[in-house]
Amino acid sequence: MTGSENPLQLSGAARIYGTLAHPADHVRAPTLFTAKFAELGLDKVMIPIDVRAEDLTSMIEVLRRQINFEGAAVTIPHKIELAKLCDELGETGQLTGAVNAIAFDTEGRLLGDNFDGKGFVAGLYGEGFSLQDKKILMVGAGGAARAVGLALAKEPLAGLDICNRSPDKAEWLAGRLGEVTGQTVAAVPNPPADMGQYDMIVNTTSLGLHDGDALPIGLDGVQADCVICDIIMIPERTAWMQAAEARGLTVHAGRHMLDYQMDLIAAFIGAW
């Protein structure tokens, strides 16, 4: 898109948002947010802020002092370090120790949270899936699993099982999620004995990112109407999703988690 097709008309009163990343070439948020600002007729802009890890603290101090700077989306490699710099973390930010959005409040305090899990659940509802009374298996117990697991466990499920290569992490996460949400959450063997009990299986491991990766979990014995969800965004159709489709199963791709986060992040940073 050229400037003439999308004239950016800012006044001196414009509010500024950012996307903190390094490198920043690949980030999509500035394009998406700025297009939405134009569509809504808002005097706002989001700019990519390419900052090295060693300069992050100084950058935050500068942004804190910039009166017209409201908040930012946050991506690799800053999610964990920024969580440490926040004065206040939301529930998912606390559990994951990582943030993907930050905002300054009126006193200049830095607030942060992580919207991966809420975005994942919003994506399921947005694409027409129900979670009511569903039995779900989550594969993986790392950082992404903490966010996705917390959001899933708050839904009216029949129960959430977690399996992981390292069983101690699945045990820890199941205990923590059960405690925080009151949901029935259990750590189960990897793979679980009875794959036929699940209405939905969610991959939160990194398996599928690279060619030649093993499948996160085999699909033998799953119900014909089980929904197979990946949170890996690239490739858009992972080998696991392809294996599921070859069996005639319904799949749900990772990009929905990101797409459905935009409105959640916008609300948190006060964009619209």
Positions marked catalytic? 79
- The stretch near ligand ATR (CB under 6 A) out of 10-18, 24-32, 40-48, 141-149 is 141-149
- End-to-end Cα, the chain, rounded Å: 23
Burial class (CB in 10 A: 0-12, 13-18, 19+), 197: middle
Nearest approach, Cβ of residue 29 and ligand ATR (Å): 19
The phi, psi pair for 82, rounded to 5°, reads -65, -35
| Under 8 Å between Cβ of 260 and 148 | no
216, 256, 262 from 253: Cα distances, Å: 15, 6, 16
Show contacts with ligand ATR in window 189-218 (CB under 6 A): 205-207
Q: Which residue is nearest to ligand ATR (CB)?
A: 142
Nearest approach, Cβ of residue 141 and ligand ATR (Å): 5
130, 174, 207, 242, 243 from 237: Cα distances, Å: 22, 28, 13, 7, 10
Return d(Cα 262, Cα 9) in angstroms, integer: 22
- The SS3 call for residue 99 is coil
| Under 8 Å between Cβ of 47 and 78 | no
Q: Is 238 in the site for ligand ATR (CB under 6 A)?
A: no
Per-residue tokens: 76: 């690799």
Return d(Cα 32, Cα 43) in angstroms, integer: 15
Q: How many residues bind ligand ATR, per CB under 6 A?
A: 13
Q: Beta strands 15-21 and 44-50: pairing type?
A: parallel
Return d(Cα 213, Cα 228) in angstroms, integer: 17
**CB closer to ligand ATR, 72 vs 232:** 232
Binding mask 148-187 for ligand ATR (x = CB under 6 A): ----------------xxx--x------------------
| Of 140, 192, 208, 254, the one binding ligand ATR by CB under 6 A | 140
**CB closer to ligand ATR, 16 vs 207:** 207
**CB closer to ligand ATR, 30 vs 112:** 112
Nearest approach, Cβ of residue 258 and ligand ATR (Å): 14
How many CB atoms are closer than 10 A to CB 230? Answer: 29
**CB closer to ligand ATR, 97 vs 270:** 97
**CB closer to ligand ATR, 200 vs 271:** 200
- The stretch near ligand ATR (CB under 6 A) out of 34-42, 46-54, 140-148, 172-180 is 140-148
| Of 141, 162, 188, 262, the one binding ligand ATR by CB under 6 A | 141
Show contacts with ligand ATR in window 25-84 (CB under 6 A): none
Summarize as ranges the residues that interact with ligand ATR (CB under 6 A): 140-145, 164-166, 169, 205-207
